[in-house]
Amino acid sequence: MRTTFLAVCLLALCLPAQADQRLFYQPLNRDASVTPAQWQQVWRATVAQGGKTLIVQWSAYGDSDFGGAQGWLANSLREARAQGLELVLGLYMDPAYYQRLEQLDGEGLNSYFKAQLGRSLSQYQQLKASWALPVSGWYLPLELDDLHFREQARRDALYTQLQAFNRQLDKPLHISAFSAGQLSPRVNGAWLDQLADLGLSVWWQDGAGTGRLAPLVRQGYEQALPCRVGIVREAFRQVSQPGQPFRAEPAKPALSGGCHAEAVFALRYRPWAKDVLKPGSL
């Protein structure tokens, strides 16, 4: 359904929303059907809602590069830049990442993570060489959690790997984590603070959309975060059950107005974009 920018603006009363200054976009192959005119209207509406920075979750997902340097994703992001949005561009994501985390242990996990960083470094080099997109930062799609990195030795190995990876980039590296209740809030906050010591822009996902942790537990984790760790506010509510394909409905992000930088996940669920970027799978 095509909605004019004016209609979107009237619906939202044209009031910029602080929530959407930083907004995640997760590319899906089905978005290839979005027309250039629709992309232009989505990016205009995003800016009208206060959007300043677009964090693109990945630019390659398994075998899919979304058309490469002259494909639909690259072209839509060029339009986003033309409308005034800064870009934090995601690197490479392995579709089997979470399954591999479940299967691997010890040195196997360390080796796998190192290999994935290598894939992301190759993607970074390709983006620099051929996409010609000005960016303000890079995003590593390999989300961290306190279940698979609950052991200090794993966190230490991760620290060393990210330190080496970050040194090879020309712009700040963004990375995100979520809590599974396996580390105490204090230890989790200290871990993310240590990663921020590397010069990384570290984000913590608030988990409100997935609802895996009770609200009071999530609140405890959030309160233990140092101010320099940003918070990703989930603007969706998961409706699928465990074992089913992921499905979610739009929901209002739980903004706090505190000391943390905030970003919203994701563009697909925001009022001005949800009828154009419909939920679906890769």
Residues 90-137: tens digit of each pLDDT = 999 999 999 999 998 888 999 999 999 999 999 999 999 999 999 999
Is the confidence at residue 5, as pLDDT, over 80?
no
Asked if residue 278 has pLDDT above 90, the reply is no
Q: How far apart are CA 238 and CA 249, in angstroms?
A: 6
- Would you say how long the chain is, in residues? 282
Residue 190 CA to chain centroid, in angstroms? 21
* Mean pLDDT, residues 200-207 taken together: 98
pTM across the whole model: 0.92
Place of tokens 């059907």: 33
Match 């992301």 to its residue by tokens.
120
pLDDT beyond 80 at 1: no
Q: For residue 257, how far is the Cα from the chain centroid?
A: 20
> What is the average pLDDT score of the chain?
91
Sign of the dihedral through C-alpha 171, 265, 247, 212: positive
Contact (CB, 8 A) for 103 and 115: no
Q: What is the rounded distance in angstroms from the CA atom of residue 46 to the CA atom of residue 48?
A: 5
- Percent share of the chain, pLDDT over 90: 84
Adjacent-strand bridge partners of 145: 178
Q: What is the pLDDT of residues 9-62, one digit of tens each?
A: 333 333 334 558 999 999 999 999 999 999 999 999 999 999 999 999 999 999
5-269 is classed in which CATH architecture?
Answer: Alpha-Beta Barrel (3.20)
